[in-house]
Amino acid sequence: MAQVLSIRVINSADIYKASEPSKFTKKNRGPNSATSTRGKGPVSPAHRTQKLNLEVSPHRAGPVSPAQRTEKLNLEVSPHRAVSAVRLMRIEFGGAFADLLNEKGKGSGDNEMGYVERTLGFRTRALDDRDLRLVTDIVGGTIRWRRYLDHLILSLCRDESTFGSMEPLLLQILRIGFYEIVKLDMPPYAVVDENVRLAKVALRPGAGNMVNGILRKLLLLKGNNSLPLPKLEGNDRAQARALATLYSHPVIVIQSGLLKEGLCSVQDESAGLVVSVVDPQPGESIIDCCAAPGGKTLFMASRLSGRGVVSAIDVNKGRLRILREAAKLQQVVDVITTVHADLRRADLRWNKRLEDMEQLKNLQDELLDAASMLVKPGGVLVYSTCSIDPEENEERVTAFLLRHPEFRIDPVDRYVPSTFVTEKGFYSSNPVKHSIDGAFAARLVLSL
């Protein structure tokens, strides 16, 4: 049985309510990194880059007009396709997180239909569990393969201007249809028929005719094994085919009670190695300053053997809720990174701008400075990211040491295999070299 440990979950937004509005806001928050302290004790067309906080118009990116909010029940439109299209709009134009939408979607079919009605102007039949599973699969896969799907759609449009001026909702419907045909191998007649119906009802008959024509072209090319390949410099067609190959990874899903009972959890190796760098010991007090969704936090807590405290702090309330639920399962009462870390997050890789990077580096420095004040003499500050960008990793540590000469680097070779240790004594994993996610960590000790 899992040991009962002590963990405190703190929303940093509540702590810093009086702070300057530009700091520690959701807009500047990246999802996949951690700062821990311890002491002994292709760019899409222009219309696809807009971000909104309101419901998105299916015709143009913008707020939904009252006329589009008519209450109407449509039993002919596939509910999982309608919800998938609306979720994709919310992620691309509203900045929503796919994982949070998945969590909110569990058992909240009425809530999902509310978004569909406000965005599309009608409701479908209620979602069942199978529908929700399809929504998660289709939305995640469509985002992950967006660049390739857009390449196929563009190739089958009359010209580039047709693709570039395409209405946002129409593009999402086509992406869904292409993903279902190319990746999921769903029955072609069902994919064409139901996506055409969605386009006709949500937009207009002409939009449905366009979806019908493009999807049927795709079916013809797929049947002849002649899907268009991306154009690459050079004449090596074999290389082009290799780059266009769609990889699949077999995953063995064990239907047992281990996960439900909190006896085991799933974590990428790169994140687990960061915990090895922290090296939690029984009796210690550890603060995870950017904790949600809590994988490293809970792993550190499990390493304390029932003695010690882990305080988990994060600015995102939604992601903290996920941490709390995971902590309950395991009987337990990451600094912000930019596009390089988010490349593995399909819903985030398309929503990063160059100007975000400089802001987030400044925020990384602020978080390091704040965390350093919580370390007692002889204690350890671990700076970790899930990025492979030197500007966010080694350069941030170098800048920190210039500001705080009272800290020194503690080489990590005692904690992780040598293949992950850099010349300066940092932990670094690289997807190309190690075949795991990219990550970085540095141990910094405060002088006595």
**Radius of gyration over every alpha carbon of the chain, rounded to an integer in angstroms:** 24
289 known ligand binder? no
294 known ligand binder? yes
223 known ligand binder? no
Alpha helices in 26-183 (DSSP H): 79-94, 98-105, 109-120, 129-144, 146-156, 160-164, 168-182
Neighbours of 189 (CB within 10 A): 9
At residue 249, the 3 state secondary structure works out as coil
26 known ligand binder? no
The half-sphere exposure of 191 on its side-chain side, counting CA atoms within 13 A, is 23
Which of the residues 157, 264, 289, 386 is marked catalytic? 386
39 known ligand binder? no
164 known ligand binder? no
- 445/379 Cα distance (integer angstroms): 6
Q: Which among 356, 340, 350 has a CA at the least distance from the CA of 92?
A: 350
98 known ligand binder? no
Q: Which among 361, 421, 200, 296 has a CA at the least distance from the CA of 7?
A: 296
- The tokens describing 39, both together, are 């002491």
- 423/397 Cα distance (integer angstroms): 14
Q: Does the active-site annotation cover 386?
A: yes
292 known ligand binder? yes
291 known ligand binder? yes
- The tokens describing 9, both together, are 């979950």
Annotated binding site: 290-296, 314, 334
Q: Looking at the annotation, which residues are catalytic?
A: 386
Annotated binding site for S-adenosyl-L-methionine: 290-296, 314, 334
